[in-house]
Structure 1
């Protein structure tokens, strides 16, 4: 147990039987009355975000979340299989838990797996990944001056928007949070 004065970003709380991750918090002392702690919480289960205000010094239950770096091995059709590189223990994760991270997963790639009481909560990808473009329309000389984009398919099968001058076979850096193109990878 901790108090609302001990809150930190990233901490996971158990409120009303559900797990909530603290995304943001602020201690606030109004002119009248007692101090409060304003928070923005994200549900670990559904991803829903809510604003919640607590009185200062209220006791909250902190959930123990174990984060381990694991290596992605393969998708067997029903689940994604990861391996702990230290113990060689394998863990199967359902597609709903993997979510949008599947768009950026390549075999042998590492990701952080968060668990609570043996149950997988979520998968943390790096902020950006480097992937190869497997298909896109060819670039045309002079296309680099405009800010227009075209669709391109990554080696994972995911489609993103890239500038017109990007060609098939090039490696690009992609933001895993919003699938945006970040730049070419110098080879």
Structure 2
């Protein structure tokens, strides 16, 4: 058990038998009345995001979540096969559990899988990934009407807005949280 004063981003709580992942939290101390904690949480099962307010100091149950280093092996229909990096066990994870991480995962990519009572909850990727541009229009000299960016399709299939100087088959860094272009990869 912990109190709402101990909340941190990424913490998983067990509220009324459901698991919730804390996305944001804010301690508020108004001039009048007691302090409270405003949170934004995502349901681990459904992915639904809700805002919930707790009084300061209220006890909440922190779910025991084990984070394991895993490697994405391959996709098998709607399931994704991962291998535990420590004991080489392989597990199958559903597309719903993988979520938006599918847009940034290549075979043999490292990821952290959050497990609760032996069941995978969600996937955490590195802050940025290196992807190859598979298709983009050539940038024309002097073409600045679109703000200096153009769409580029990367090897996972998603489209990223990149600067005009990026060419096909170049490696770029993409932010896994926002999907934004970060720069050229080395």
The match for 2:169 is 169
What SS is found at the alignment partner of 1:39?
A: strand
Which residue of structure 2 lines up, in the alignment, with residue 36 of structure 1? 36
Partners in 2 of 1:173 and 1:79 — Cα distance? 26
CA contact (8 A) 1:152 1:159 kept: yes
Correspondence list, 1:1-187, <5 A: 1-143=1-143, 147-186=147-186
Q: 1:63-99 deviations in whole A, cap 9, x for unaligned?
A: 1111111011111223111111110011111111112
Residue 129 of structure 1, CA deviation: 0.9
Unaligned ranges ≥5, structure 1: none
TM-score by length of 2: 0.87
What does the per-residue CA deviation read over 1:140-176, in whole Å, with 9 as the maximum and x for residues that have no partner? 3445797233222212222222222211111111111
> Does structure 1 retain, via aligned residues, the 8 Å contact 2:69–2:86?
no
* Aligned-pair CA distance for 1:3: 2.2
With over 3 angstroms needed to count, the CA separation of the structure-2 counterparts of 1:110 and 1:29, relative to structure 1, is same
Alpha-carbon separation, structure 2, partners of 1:151 and 1:34: 49
* Residues paired across the two proteins, number: 186
Higher mean C-alpha displacement, 135-144 vs 118-127: 135-144
* Contact 1:144–1:163 (8 Å) recurs in 2: no
Q: Normalized against structure 1, the TM-score is what?
A: 0.87
Deviation at 1:56, TM superposition (A): 2.9
Task: For residue 121 of structure 1, report the CA deviation from its aligned partner.
Answer: 0.9
The verdict on how the C-alpha distance between 1:86 and 1:30 changes in structure 2, with shifts beyond 3 A counting, is same
